[in-house]
Structure 1
Amino acid sequence: MRSALHAEWTKLRTAPGTFALLVAVVVATIGVSAAASACDGPGCGADLPRLSLTGVQLGQAVVAILAVLVMGNEHSTGMVRVTLTALPRRARVLAAKAAVTAGAVAAASVVAVAGAVVVSRTLLPAHTFVLRPAAGSVLYLVLVGLLSLGVTTAVRSPAAAIGVVLGLLYALPIVTTVVTDPEWQDRLRRFGPATAGLAVQATTGEPVIGPWKGLGVLALWALGTLLVGGVLFARRDA
């Protein structure tokens, strides 16, 4: 496993665009959070800790693209054949990719979330730091990365994987808002990866699902896609 981790880390840190994408996660998260915290409308003070982390909703798109490219680039270039020749155990390869992806996303997410909190506290003096939304947002972004990796492993195509993941993160919540049946709307909010996962940021009101339960739903999505992707990865030709 050590050799697999070393190989995947080497590929990730030397791949063109990796550093730029990690920086983009930080910039996007802090920038959008700062813009949201600078608002002066009547709804700005409803949930300040959550408002200060608004940028996570944009940062997740960059995380998804980064994670998709971890597996997608190898399939699009044919380098996956070289990888599997050197490391024939496919489950170990996927596990190493997941670990490296999670580590890189976690590092960028910690900086991004911390920066968003600091900037928001500067712009909103009434803002009180709450650990759970901040820590939960870091975990949320890591799980989005693993979900994206699992989807890419299953579908192979980077373009298709990005479409699927962004659809789950952005299109599904929009569809949920236009569903007229209250029962189905509630179900979609509880089991949608984005709406459930982002419940960890809420500190006021009555979210449709508990903060950690919502993050658990996203974790199940990530685990499910990795398992499906792992099975297909093991059974299909490279």
Structure 2
Amino acid sequence: MSGVDVTGFRRACRAEWTKLRTEAGHGWLMVALVLVTVGVGAAVSANVPCPAAGCGQDQVRLSLTGVSVGQVFPAITAVLLMGGEYGTGLIRTTLVALPGRGTVLAAKATVLGGTVLAVGSVAVLASALAGHVLLPDAGYTPAHGYPPLSLADGPTLRATAGSVLYLVLVALLALGIATAVRDAAVAAGSVLALLHLFPLLSHVVTEPHLQRLLARIGPMPAGLAIQATTNLHRLPIGPWAGLGVLALWAAAALLVGGTVLRLRDA
């Protein structure tokens, strides 16, 4: 990459960071990401009992349940970051100041991804801590076959780190879709529909092989496989492979969005 490109990218990142931190809505969405993710995870950890040995629950996944609810906030942040600019016409000013459209999208993705990585880490780690405190009171004790929740345990560390990456990839998926459709409301609806379509279809269809296929290719069910720490052989897709499926969805959305951004007028 040439020096001019690096300079332009840095300028674009500074501009996007300024937008992200100065617009109050983005900040509140990040706060909501933490509060909802931790709140839902804590509620599940406290209220799903394990009254006897072999209750069959994955305590790590229980503590991280809030991620599947909190994901809506980074998705909406991404949609507003791009779709909001189209709605207000600010995108024209952005593209005049930074004519490299690919650079603009790359800068938005970098700033958004870095922000969600930082805030998502707080949310996920706090959820794991809440699980560590609350799960024993619900019966998840060594006597029932559940050692204390700890990041020193390899599968637990993988599930928590993967959950943070899941949130980042959902945000990038939403950014790509928002760039392609250019309307914040339509983009938000499209992202949420895409995330929940495959789990919904899995409950509608009755053919086991088709259910398994939907769980393997859907961005949400495949991506959330990263949270599993028990009975991995029963999963439709492995944890890292599932997260890879979500990464492919995000990359495809960004590719389509970037192509539309380059080929169409603002």
TM over 0.5: yes
After superposition, what is the alpha-carbon deviation per residue over 1:15-40, rounded to whole angstroms, capped at 9, x for unaligned?
13111111000000000000000114
- Could you say which residue in structure 2 is the equivalent of 1:144? 170
Out of 189, 206, 227, the position equivalent to 1:201 is: 227
Rounded to whole Å, the distance in 2 between the matches of 1:51 and 1:79 is 42
- Could you say which residue in structure 1 is the equivalent of 2:126? 115
Task: Give unmatched runs, 5+ long, in structure 2.
Answer: 1-8, 142-147, 151-155
- Could you say which residue in structure 2 is the equivalent of 1:29? 37
- Could you say which residue in structure 1 is the equivalent of 2:144? none
One-letter amino acid of the structure 2 residue matched with residue 8 of structure 1: E
Task: Give unmatched runs, 5+ long, in structure 1.
Answer: none
One-letter amino acid of the structure 2 residue matched with residue 189 of structure 1: A
- Return the index of the structure with the highest Cα Rg: 2
Rounded to whole Å, the distance in 2 between the matches of 1:154 and 1:39 is 41
Give the secondary-structure state (helix, strand or coil) at the position aligned to 1:237: coil
- Could you say which residue in structure 2 is the equivalent of 1:73? 84
Out of 92, 111, 116, the position equivalent to 2:103 is: 92
Give the secondary-structure state (helix, strand or coil) at the position aligned to 2:161: helix
Percent of residue pairs identical: 56
Q: Which moved more, 1:39-48 or 1:53-62?
A: 39-48
Rounded to whole Å, the distance in 2 between the matches of 1:181 and 1:141 is 30
- Could you say which residue in structure 1 is the equivalent of 2:75? 64
Runs of 4+ in 1 over 4 A off after TM superposition: 42-45
Q: CA deviation at 1:168?
A: 1.6
Give the secondary-structure state (helix, strand or coil) at the position aligned to 1:173: helix
- Could you say which residue in structure 2 is the equivalent of 1:225? 253
Q: Which moved more, 1:4-13 or 1:42-51?
A: 42-51
Give the secondary-structure state (helix, strand or coil) at the position aligned to 2:236: coil
After superposition, what is the alpha-carbon deviation per residue over 1:184-223, rounded to whole angstroms, capped at 9, x for unaligned?
2211110000000000000112211000000000000000
Q: CA deviation at 1:169?
A: 1.6
Q: Which moved more, 1:38-47 or 1:99-108?
A: 38-47
Rounded to whole Å, the distance in 2 between the matches of 1:42 and 1:135 is 25
Give the secondary-structure state (helix, strand or coil) at the position aligned to 1:88: coil
- Could you say which residue in structure 1 is the equivalent of 2:239? 211
One-letter amino acid of the structure 1 residue matched with residue 163 of structure 2: S
Out of 2, 18, 25, the position equivalent to 1:17 is: 25
Q: CA deviation at 1:176?
A: 1.7
Cα RMSD (Å): 1.3
Rounded to whole Å, the distance in 2 between the matches of 1:128 and 1:20 is 30
TM-score (norm: length of structure 2): 0.87
TM-score (norm: length of structure 1): 0.97
Rounded to whole Å, the distance in 2 between the matches of 1:192 and 1:79 is 34
Rounded to whole Å, the distance in 2 between the matches of 1:161 and 1:172 is 18
Q: CA deviation at 1:42?
A: 5.0
